[in-house]
A and B are shown apart, each in its own frame.
Chain A
Amino acid sequence: MSAIATQLSPAAALPKWLAPLLLIAFAYVVIPLIGNSYLFEAILLPFLALSLAGVGLNILTGYAGQVSLGSAAFMAAGAFAAYNFNLRIEGLPLVASIILSGLVAAAIGIVFGLPSLRLKGFYLAVSTLAAQFFVQWALTKFSWFSNNSASGVIDAPKLSIAGFEFDGAVGRYLFALTVVVVLTFLAHRLVTSQTGRNFIAIRDNDTAARIIGIPVLKTKLLAFAISSFIIGVAGVIWAFAYLRTVEPAGFDLDRSFQILFIIIIGGLASIRGAFLGAALIVVFPLVLSRLGGFLLGDLFDSGVLDMSQRIVLGALIILFLILEPDGLVALWDRVRRRLTLAWQSS
């Protein structure tokens, strides 16, 4: 069915890598020229950080089928690890401290992934909450992590790689974009490799996966490690490129849910889905506040906005689960197929 559809579509004649490549070129060349600082600061930077976190969680939840409610903890681990590497090791290149902080997040991910060896489903989801509460508590409690600053707030260092400074909103955008592009490419390679197929096999039926010779326990831990690595680096972007000043409280349970919502709305087991979901999650509160202010005027204060955001977000989740369980990606593909068919028949 889908094979026929691809044959019909003229896009199939173009190589598959063309569209992402054009998009990346657009993001590197055109957007810095036309964007203003509001676009970078309020939309693109959080979008990039959350997309990357979504890609990371999607590897664990979408591909390997292990639901995690502790993503924000791994973001926090990455952010605070990068801060400390940068602070405490003289002359450590930024790239190295980002990679090291990803590895720290991965190590924490493996520790909190250990319950997955014996638990599945709800029991596992609940046990990942332990990561959420423990990491947040540790970062607040031990002021060493934040270099003894008040209430655990950390300030981001200057972003410079090999003498090149990423200054201002555009610079930080380019920095974040580069990290996201590299890691997304690697994630894409991973999920189309044998390891990625092992993840899917475990998600779909772990007994069958074991029978065909997949080392289930090792693969599960690998999924936790890789996912936490990516989410940790997303935390570095969140802290260093987007907010510049973060505290542990910024990585609370709501943030974990936000990332989970991104992959549900965007589409589970899809790299593109994480980006579509993150775009919706970042843009819809802005739209809602404009729309609410326009329709209700002064009645629509920040409290009302906050509450109506929660309601709309919750409703979106339920609607997607009922009407489009495969997320925005499926919606997007269907719309595109319809358009192509309409274009061909005309």
Chain B
Amino acid sequence: MIGDFDYQFFLEVLTGGLLSGVMYSLVAIGFVLIYKTSGVLNFAQGALLLFAALTFVSLVERGVPFALALAVTFAIMVALGIGIERTVLRPLTNKPPITLFMATLGLSYIIEGAAQLIWGTQVHGLELGIEDVPLEVGGVLISQFDIFAAAVAAAMVLLLSLFFRYTRIGLSFRAVADDQFAALAVGLRLPLIWASVWAAAGLVALVAGLLWGARLGVQFSLSLVVLKALPVLVLGGFDSILGAIVGGLLIGASEKLAEVYIGDYFGGGIESWFAYVVALVFLLVRPSGLFGQKLVERV
């Protein structure tokens, strides 16, 4: 059996898995940004992603130039983020984290409903000008679009890291993530910081929404990508951007490999739950996740 092992095919599956893992990471980063600075697990990230993609597509379809549509959508996402912070999260300050999570669950219902009420429920195609053709790299076929997505993700992570490291507001993000009370005590303005974090999460949602939208078509099921991002978060730790990347790669690769190599024993279609099982098994061995803080709430 080992002799027949098709190494080439294995590499192809692995690469495909890693690249789709990048797409999961893109969604997961949006969660991490908000969780790090405000301790909220924002379930509405998927709905935000849907909202961003749907708004952008609808603007483009109405004849708005690409760049302008991008700018307008970004402005809307920032406004939405700030609005959410003001109306939903601020009244719930100091409530238990699980209450905040349920609030974002409600929020995702509102955003999903509103997005489709405003823009309609039909499926939109989204063209980013990158064709989804396979390229041969070192004898392995890789989709050009996947490479583009991976590059965008890498650029975004780089940008975020630079932002966190070198800008003043990035520094205050890190201070808030470290210790909210201490940050407040040295005079950082928490509402301003939270508003900017939500704006940043809106930007991440826009980028992820465009890439996922180009891949799957812009439609309701786009908001379900959060369900793919959650095991990534569990694996990588809710508060680590690096964890989100590595977790995404791990989940993406193991999911594809499992589907191809052991999926048949289960009758196929195991993608819907396999990621969760990987995350759970990993957590049973190492409860703090890959890069999560030891202090996170665990038994």
Where the two chains meet, the residues of A that have a C-beta atom closer than 8 Å to any C-beta of B are 67, 115-123, 125-127, 129-130, 133-134, 136-137, 141-142, 206, 253, 257, 260-261, 264, 303-304, 307-311, 313-318, 321-322, 325
Contacts and interface: CB of A to CB of B under 8 A. Distances in A.
Contact of B280 (A130, A142, A309, A318): A130
6 contacts: A127-B279, A311-B109, A314-B106, A314-B107, A321-B102, A325-B99
B167 to A, nearest CB: 29
Contact of B269 (A118, A141, A322): A141
Contacts of A115: 280, 283-284
A122 B238 contact: yes
A318 B269 contact: no
A133 B112 CA distance: 21
Contacts of A123: 234, 283, 296-298
A311 B113 contact: yes
B116 interface: yes
Contacts of A134: 273, 276-277
Contacts of B266: 141
Contacts of B227: 129, 133, 253
A137 B263 CA distance: 13
Given A115-B283, A127-B234, A316 B106 contact: yes
Interface residues of B, number: 48
Chain A contact surface mostly:
helix
A261 B270 CA distance: 28
Contacts of B108: 314
Interface string B83-107: 0000010011001011101110111
B267 A307 contact: no
Given A115-B284, A118-B298, A122-B101, A127 B276 contact: yes
Contacts of B269: 137, 141
A260 B104 CA distance: 13
B92 A322 contact: yes
A200 to B, nearest CB: 15
A64 to B, nearest CB: 13
A331 to B, nearest CB: 17
B165 to A, nearest CB: 27
A129 B230 contact: yes
Contact of B101 (A125, A137, A307): A125
Contacts of A119: 283, 287, 298-299
Contacts of A318: 88, 103, 106-107, 110
